[in-house]
Amino acid sequence: MFARFKKPADPASRPTVTAPAAPGPAAPGPAAPPAATVRPRPGTPGPASPAQAVAADKDKKRKERLAEIKLELHGRLLDNLNLAALEHATEAELRAEIAAIAAEALEEMGVVLNKEERAGLNQELYDEVMGLGPIEPLLKDDTVNDILINGPRQVFVERAGKLQLTDITFKDERHLLRIIDKIVSAVGRRVDESNPYVDARLADGSRFNAMVPPVAVDGSLVSIRKFKKDKLKIDDLIRFGAFSEEMAAYLQAAVATRLNIIVSGGTGSGKTTTLNALSSFIDNSERILTIEDTAELQLQQTHVGRMESRPPNVEGKGAVTQRDCLRNALRMRPDRIIVGETRGEEVIDMLQAMNTGHDGSMTTIHANSARDAVSRLENMIAMAGIEMPLRAVRAQIASAVNLIVQASRLQDGSRRMVSITEITGMEGEVISMQEIFRYERLGLEPSGKILGRFNATGVRSHYSERFRQWGYDLPHTIYEPIL
């Protein structure tokens, strides 16, 4: 019936049916289990009456049994499918094949499922064989930004800036490890006890990190930052309240007149998104080189060269660091250099590039305020082993960086640009800064939503003359605060 993708028969290795506590005969009838209709989520309040308790218990058992059946079927599929032949099959053929093998196995096991359950099971089996198993639906769900797995029993997602526990689980740690292995081996990497963590980019562009036991104590830890095909644009960000129109006009002038910009922020605060959106203000005639650990940026200009650093291979060789890319980039005649995130020794080359003719360069940094971002830069320089007096380090930073944009994820989940700060030079030992725009919190709605507004601080930009000379004559009213 499904000869094309089925392995040649091997009578000796027919798998034995063990898992399902199936009712005896294969025929539907009184012995057939009732359809599972209610799927309680973990954490939902317990049933109120004994009848409900019985129904919930039945439902739980039914669910467990379905999971067992799935496991058994999956084993059979792996035994029966000719994986080499699968490569050339169309999706429809594969689905038909899986459905056919499943139907045959179910019949053999004497299990009767309703139509809905069968469709669900077939989809899950397809995801197991071809995709990433239980998390496949989350990868397809556009409302999910992050997927965070803490061992096989806990899968969290982030939607609209908030973390939520899902009812998705893996069968056990081995199941989770199998999926992790599938992901990393597809990109030619390995993860095991001697190599317990890995960073990778999924086929769809999503950023993937995993750490496996024994370093991960309670089961493998996985984090996935979903890749968004349609990156948020400046207009979207204004619409979502990430910053105001005045701030956008100011940022446009800053990018177009080639100020060096650092986007600072905490984890998942929207740094990369902001960097990507800011890059849209770069003129189409410029040559831009981007350097990232995981290629996430999507620039719209014509003349873009993208680089991605590479970790060492299993023998510990072949690493290409961001710093290597950056040094090479300087020989590639860039007009601007964009480094996805500065986190280490590449800081030296980044600052030098900003200081020596590649103005208009941009990067992000993990820090909680503009001041903090500067301290982080100082620390990175010190950690890179550069012996320079602090004042010289600061002078280098002050002349390289013009603007620090602070992104933040607020407690209600909203992501906002909470401050735009200019670096204006040095006063003695200290880098002088002035804040131009900020987000002012005004209160809290009963729903927990933060009330606030973007406001100017009343300080006129240090660069307003430069903006004017370059043809970006911003009205002085944008610097006036609403009182």
Ligand X SMILES: Nc1ncnc2c1ncn2[C@@H]1O[C@H](COP(=O)(O)OP(=O)(O)OP(=O)(O)O)[C@@H](O)[C@H]1O
Which of ligand X, Mg ion, none interacts with 242 (beta carbon under 5 to 8 A by kind)? ligand X
Of 267, 313, 375, 469, the one binding ligand X (CB under 6 A) is 267
Q: Does 265 bind ligand X (CB under 6 A)?
A: yes
Closer of 110 and 413 to ligand X (Cβ) = 413
Q: Which of residues 224-283 bind Mg ion (CB under 5 A)?
A: 271-272
Phi, psi of 184 (to 5 degrees): -75, -30
Strand ranges, E, within 277-402: 288-292, 304-308, 336-339, 362-366
Instruction: Using alpha carbons, select from 393, 411, 409 the residue that is nearest to residue 401.
Output: 393
Min CB(10)–ligand X separation in Å? 47
Of 36, 202, 234, 242, the one binding ligand X (CB under 6 A) is 242
Closer of 336 and 409 to ligand X (Cβ) = 409
89, with CB counted inside 10 A (0-12, 13-18, 19+), is middle
Q: Which two tokens stand for residue 22?
A: 């199936």
Q: Does 270 bind ligand X (CB under 6 A)?
A: yes
Min CB(202)–Mg ion separation in Å? 16
Of 269, 363, 402, 419, the one binding ligand X (CB under 6 A) is 269
Taking a C-beta distance cutoff of 8 angstroms, is the pair 298, 279 a contact? no
**Within 187-244, where are the H helices?**
234-239
88, with CB counted inside 10 A (0-12, 13-18, 19+), is exposed
Min CB(272)–Mg ion separation in Å? 3
Distance CA 444, CA 178 (A): 45
Which of ligand X, Mg ion, none interacts with 270 (beta carbon under 5 to 8 A by kind)? ligand X
Q: Does 405 bind ligand X (CB under 6 A)?
A: no
**Which helix (H) or strand (E) segment is 63 a member of?**
helix 50-80
370, with CB counted inside 10 A (0-12, 13-18, 19+), is buried
Closer of 145 and 280 to ligand X (Cβ) = 145
Q: Which of residues 126-145 bind ligand X (CB under 6 A)?
A: 145
Which of Mg ion, ligand X, none interacts with 2 (beta carbon under 5 to 8 A by kind)? none
Residue type, 9: A
Distance CA 42, CA 77 (A): 30
- The single residue listed with the structure tokens 């129109």 is 245
Q: Which of residues 107-166 bind Mg ion (CB under 5 A)?
A: none
Q: Which of residues 272-291 bind Mg ion (CB under 5 A)?
A: 272
Closer of 196 and 241 to ligand X (Cβ) = 241
Q: Does 307 bind ligand X (CB under 6 A)?
A: no
Residues binding Mg ion: number (CB under 5 A): 2
Stretch that binds ligand X, among 28-36, 56-64, 225-233, 351-359 (CB under 6 A): 225-233
CA angle, 183 as apex, 180 and 189 as ends, to 5°?
95
| Distant-in-sequence, close-in-space partners of 331: CB < 8 Å, separation ≥ 6 | none
Q: Does 402 bind Mg ion (CB under 5 A)?
A: no
- The single residue listed with the structure tokens 């009205």 is 475
Which of Mg ion, ligand X, none interacts with 290 (beta carbon under 5 to 8 A by kind)? none
Min CB(418)–Mg ion separation in Å? 17
Which of ligand X, Mg ion, none interacts with 74 (beta carbon under 5 to 8 A by kind)? none
Distance CA 33, CA 302 (A): 60
Q: Which of residues 172-201 bind ligand X (CB under 6 A)?
A: none
Q: Which two tokens stand for residue 95?
A: 């689905």
Min CB(168)–Mg ion separation in Å? 25
Closer of 47 and 266 to Mg ion (Cβ) = 266
Q: Which of residues 180-199 bind Mg ion (CB under 5 A)?
A: none
Q: What is the dihedral of CA 483, 451, 264, 280, to 10 degrees?
A: -80
Helix (H, G, I), strand (E, B) or coil at 154: coil
Min CB(276)–ligand X separation in Å? 8
Which of Mg ion, ligand X, none interacts with 273 (beta carbon under 5 to 8 A by kind)? ligand X
User: Could you give the count of Cα atoms lying within 13 Å of 75 in the half-sphere of its Cβ?
Assistant: 15
Min CB(366)–Mg ion separation in Å? 9
**Distance from the Cα of residue 31 to its chain's centroid:** 47
Q: Which residues bind ligand X (CB under 6 A)?
A: 145, 225, 228, 232, 237, 240, 242, 265, 267-273, 415
- Point out which residues bind Mg ion (CB under 5 A): 271-272
